[in-house]
Amino acid sequence: MTITDIKIRKVFDDESPMKAVVSVTLDDQLALHDIKVIYAKEKHFIVMPSKKNPDGTYRDVVHPITAGFREELNDAVLAAYFEALENPTDPTTV
């Protein structure tokens, strides 16, 4: 599976842990929306889209199956996020 596009939808510049909302396209055929970039415990990482269960816990709606693809996705999204911070194309979102 190939990551064919990454769009940084929104960047948050406040003090909250959530730093961005991202969409990723796989194989030019499948779009994943609402992936979040989080900064916590002194590192950046991604959180997959999730829904809240009746008991108040959250469950991922979609997620990588292998550790290798999880790492590839994490690295690609974070690279796109940092690129967007360095070279903003829409000044209202950064």
Comparing 53 with 88, which gets the higher pLDDT? Answer: 53
Q: Report phi then psi at 75, rounded to 5.
A: -65, -40
Give the pLDDT of residue 94: 41
CB 26 within 8 A of CB 7: no
Give the pLDDT of residue 90: 62
Residue 88 is classified by DSSP as -
Average pLDDT over every residue of 6-10: 96
Q: Bin 3: left if φ > 0, else alpha if -120 < ψ < 50, else beta.
A: beta
pTM comes to 0.88
Average pLDDT over every residue of 29-35: 97
Average pLDDT over every residue of 64-83: 97
Sign of CA dihedral 75, 81, 85, 90: positive
Average pLDDT over every residue of 18-44: 97
Classified by CATH at the fold level, domain 3-86 comes out as Arylsulfatase, C-terminal domain (3.30.1120)
Give the pLDDT of residue 89: 75
Domain spans in the chain, listed from the N-terminal domain onward:
3-86
Q: How far apart are CA 11 and CA 52, in angstroms?
A: 23
Q: Quick: pLDDT tens for 82-93.
A: 999 998 776 444
